[in-house]
A and B are shown apart, each in its own frame.
Chain A
């Protein structure tokens, strides 16, 4: 196949554009990292681009000593772990019957679920419902209202539907019940999709913000994102601790940078490991029709 001059030019152009755009995806994070390791004076006088200037770990030391941040971190870890486990259990138990032809009411139930995707309840009745349940200021309000992500549940269901029926026929002959088929046959076969959906749930719980804004009024129970938001809007609180420590100049620019990264690091750590899975999962989700 011969390549014309114009096509060659386009190829070069394409690589340059894409590489530049891809770089802008990482650059803000790299820049924050550089700022967080720079001296306050350098950060405030616009000297820091992609490398730290006058390297110091003071900002990190400072925020890592912040008790409030760690409390919120703990809450977020808790709701992420508990929430993901519960969400997976509920999603599996819902997806499995909906994937079975023997389950005679699967069509009306599926329709009932799809309707909730088209008609979102307005914020206020949702808020009042959760409040009526007595979940205000309870960490359950961050988990229960979003227990099943319909999209995630459908991803699992689609995957289950692709598992050949002969498998459970033979399991049934061996005396396996429906629960046995789900947990002994289907689950081991679905590892990639389980990993993907768990990741989606985990990221969702890690990033929980709106539910916390609505339901958690007690700052001692704020998950990490709420705490981060509070520190970003009033950085004086973030800096306040070091006035007591007295060993570090009052500076919000570097502290903010470090705090933003603090809330992001866990995702950055798991990202490379889970990357091979999530694209497949996202595609499965898209083919739901």
Chain B
């Protein structure tokens, strides 16, 4: 240990960072059990037990926000999660290397744009004067104000999410596909398997562990939809279907100062995420390796 004192010195800044910006806020979650007063601070504020949680469970807004969050999360899982897997399988069938490379770099690009930019693009495309209504016009349809219609909000969230991240998501799967032993395919061809059968019986089963790990990581953050995306797509007209935990916590907590109550909501969200992760990890371990 003495010989490597420098290593211990080097890690100090990192440890300070994790303590200050990760562990202190984690400890700070305890204000969910307090009647937190900004001027008294955490040490001076009164402890109220589970009062804040009782309060949110009696609160109509909370159920509305929770329902929105869970619905969007479910749709994202249902459509957003399989999208990169399917895309990776389709990429795998492309034999022209240059075409594959070119298309891949096109698919990766949106990942690097901010949600403000993507939100701006979505609003412009779907506006009254936007290209979608322009195309609808060619077919003689009346323009629709998509961003202000509650019926379209969740679809727009899921589709814009897929647009932004589907290409990036394929990277992991393509890496796993590259690792498959070519002998397996040759053997399958000998047995008379066509491409479809090869995909079904070799590629997909080999991808399964990767899919499982990513699924578990996903489920752990089930209710965390990402503040940036929703905040940049939401309008007052779509609050009733689009206001999620994170945007609500921002408005009620940061802007209106209801610190304890919104921390309770945040803690509730984390607990749900961890519980789901724990349950699915147990299920996964029955068939394959789980996360732990």
Contacts and interface: CB of A to CB of B under 8 A. Distances in A.
A113 B259 contact: no
Nearest to A180: B6
Interface in B154-212: 163, 167-168, 171-172, 175, 189, 194-196
B174 to A, nearest CB: 9
Determine the main DSSP class of A at the interface with B: helix
A207 B111 CA distance: 11
Interface string A1-19: 1001011001100110111
A32 B123 contact: no
B267 interface: yes
Contacts of B14: 90, 93-94, 148, 153
Interface in B245-289: 246, 249-250, 253-254, 259, 262-263, 265-267, 269-270, 274, 277
Contacts of A29: 121
Interface in A118-142: 118-130, 133
Interface stretch (A184-192, A240-248, A281-289): A281-289
Contacts of B253: 123-124, 127
Given A14-B94, A147-B21, A256-B120, A123 B11 contact: no
Interface string A167-210: 00000000001110010000000000000000000010011011
Contacts of A69: none
Interface string A248-260: 0000010011011
A65 interface: no
A154 interface: no
B213 interface: yes
A123 B112 contact: no
29 contacts: A1-B189, A31-B131, A49-B131, A90-B13, A90-B14, A93-B10, A94-B14, A96-B7, A103-B4, A104-B1, A118-B277, A120-B270, A122-B262, A124-B259, A124-B263, A125-B28, A125-B31, A125-B263, A153-B14, A177-B6, A178-B6, A207-B113, A207-B114, A209-B228, A225-B117, A259-B120, A283-B171, A286-B171, A286-B175
Given A124-B263, A128-B25, 18 more contacts: A17-B90, A21-B87, A21-B107, A23-B106, A31-B125, A90-B13, A96-B7, A109-B11, A116-B22, A122-B266, A123-B262, A123-B266, A145-B21, A178-B7, A182-B10, A207-B113, A232-B119, A264-B117
Interface of B: 1, 3-4, 6-8, 10-11, 13-15, 17-18, 20-29, 31-32, 87, 90-91, 93-95, 99, 102-103, 105-110, 112-117, 119-121, 123-125, 127, 129, 131, 133-134, 137, 163, 167-168, 171-172, 175, 189, 194-196, 213, 220-221, 224, 227-228, 231-232, 246, 249-250, 253-254, 259, 262-263, 265-267, 269-270, 274, 277, 291
Interface of A: 1, 4, 6-7, 10-11, 14-15, 17-19, 21-26, 28-29, 31-32, 35, 43-46, 49, 90, 93-94, 96-98, 100, 102-105, 109, 112-113, 116, 118-130, 133, 144-148, 153, 177-179, 182, 203, 206-207, 209-210, 213-214, 225-226, 228-229, 232, 253, 256-257, 259-260, 263-264, 267, 271-272, 275, 278-279, 282-283, 286-287, 289
